[in-house]
Amino acid sequence: MSVVRRKGWRSHVIRRAVVVLAMILGVLAVPAVAGAQYQPGQPGLVLVPSTVVVGGTVTATGFGCRPGQSVVISIDGTTVATVVANNDATGTYNATFTAPTIPGTYTVLATCGTTIAPSSLIVIAAPTTTVAVSVLPQTGGGDDSLMLARYGLILVVAGGLVVLAVRRRRAGA
């Protein structure tokens, strides 16, 4: 009977280790979310880029208007573009406009009928000096290194759980 009991204990530890590992993978695998997110049933407006130099070009992409409806894009009350919403289920639209010539943070509104979708635009001053810089090749860094560190942490935790399970099994034998 003790043999059956030990096997049951071992499978219980293994199941727990798998659950813990799955939870860790789930938390670490969720990508960092940046930018605007679609809210079901809500209109939306995304500016690319959301930070631009004075007089730069900005693309506004939005959704939530009725198909064929006129969409007015304005910055702090001044119209910068007018487009027509696409004939699709989400009423998407795209417009390109020029950023203001004065640095600052601006409110951009896309208005179609009574529907208003806001977004923020940050306008920065253009650089005034140029610095000569040698171009060196980039080796790693950014999200790739972070992802490798996450997987390394997962492997260390999984290895520790396996070692713990084997030690307890040997101690019980």
Q: Which amino acid is at 100?
A: P
- Is 60 inside a domain boundary? yes
Record the tokens describing residue 40, joined without a space.
Answer: 């079901």
- Is 109 inside a domain boundary? yes
**Pair 121, 50: CB distance under 8 Å:** yes
- Is 58 inside a domain boundary? yes
- Is 137 inside a domain boundary? no
For residue 90, give its domain range.
Answer: 44-124
- Is 61 inside a domain boundary? yes
Q: Where residue 2 falls among pLDDT bands split at 50, 70, 90? A: very low
Q: Which residue has the tokens 């096997």?
A: 7
Q: Which of 122-126, 137-141, 146-150 has the lowest mean pLDDT?
A: 137-141
Dump pLDDT digits (tens) for 22-69. 667 665 555 444 444 445 557 788 888 888 999 999 999 888 888 888
- Is 116 inside a domain boundary? yes
**b/e burial code for range 110-138 (CB count within 10 A of at least 16 → b):** bbbeebebebebebeeeeeeeeeeeeeee
- Is 75 inside a domain boundary? yes
Nearest to residue 89, comparing CAs of 119, 62, 66? Answer: 66
The reported pLDDT for the residue numbered 139 is 64
- Is 49 inside a domain boundary? yes
- CATH (domain of 85): 2.60.40.10
The rounded Cα 23 to chain-centroid distance in angstroms is 20
Please list, in sequence order, all residues whose beta carbon lies within 8 angstroms of the beta carbon of residue 49, skipping any fewer than 6 positions away. Answer: 56, 58
The reported pLDDT for the residue numbered 1 is 44
**Pair 117, 62: CB distance under 8 Å:** yes
Dump pLDDT digits (tens) for 68-116. 889 999 998 889 999 988 888 778 899 999 999 899 999 999 998 888 8
Total number of domains in the chain: 1
